[in-house]
Amino acid sequence: MRTLTFKAIVPMLFILQLMLPFSARAGLPLGGFGFEAGPHMSWFSYDEPGVMEESGLMYGVSGACSYRADNLPAGIDMLRLEAMIARGEVDYSSSGSGDLSGIDERMYEIRLLASRDIFKGLRSTLSWYTGIAYRRLDDSSGGMVSTRGYCGYDRHSNYWYSPIGMELVARQGAGWSIGGTLEYDAFWGGKQVSDLTDANNASYTYSADLENSQSSGYGWRAALMFRQELGFGAMSFGPFFRYWNIDRSDVDTIVVTENGVQRVTGFVEPDNNSSEYGMAVSISF
């Protein structure tokens, strides 16, 4: 019920945006296009309580293109397209199936955002934003064997969600500014694809791969950035945090054959949560 409530808030926020006083946007200059890109590093962890956990370092690159103008529709002050790709190695641990080390982990994300300036003063700007986003996480343990003899398999996690956030930027003088964002991620749905046939062997086989739909969950993220104006643009750096909590999926049913005996078995993706703590650096112009 909580997830549906937050989903209902998204269109309401767009209506509220149209009702905000126009004076809050008065005097905003035409900004045109802006671009930024840079690397980031994070400690990533994924946990299915009572089932398994994995964690490791991720390295990646993020980029964004923004467009700011006075004549955008629906009271919008800026449109922004963000993209991110990251890769690393994680270690898997489970009391039931054993341990695996050095699993290749890849993450991709793309977000389209629209923002509005709620307050714009001489030294600070407060904005809110929302939009649509897609996140994919690939976990590649196919072909690996755990310490207890279990075969690994590739997993592909897909999330569709709407960011709803606030951003505050405070200018400090000498070209420095400090900014922060706080964001709630309204989860629209997800699909977990598990390539179980990767684990087929002489005595144990799966008739098909799994596709489990996920309908309930939420995310949070926050970031703090320090920005220094340069001759050609600006450099920003600072810490960030990202978190997801996803409820148990629906059931997908396949045929499992063990030592020649077939049985119909239902599988679910358990309740799970993931978190990232990291640092990012970017150059904008």
Q: Which tens digit of pLDDT belongs to each residue from 205-243?
A: 999 999 999 999 999 999 999 999 998 899 999 999 999
pTM value? 0.87
Name the strand (E) or helix (H) holding 178.
strand 176-194
Residues 6+ apart with CB under 8 A from 244: 159, 185, 217, 218, 219, 273, 274, 275
pLDDT for 177 beyond 70 = yes
pLDDT tens per residue, range 96-153: 999 999 999 999 999 999 999 999 888 999 999 999 999 999 999 999 999 999 999 9
Q: Residues 188, 174: contact at Cβ < 8 Å?
A: no
Q: Residues 108, 87: contact at Cβ < 8 Å?
A: no
State how far the alpha carbon of 281 is from the alpha carbons of 16, 101, 224, 257, 285, in Å. 34, 29, 11, 50, 14
Sign of CA dihedral 199, 201, 203, 206: positive
Q: Residues 186, 203: contact at Cβ < 8 Å?
A: no
Of the candidates 130, 152, 134, 132, the one whose C-alpha atom is nearest the C-alpha of residue 143 is: 152
Task: Give the whole-number percent of the chain exceeding pLDDT 70.
Answer: 89
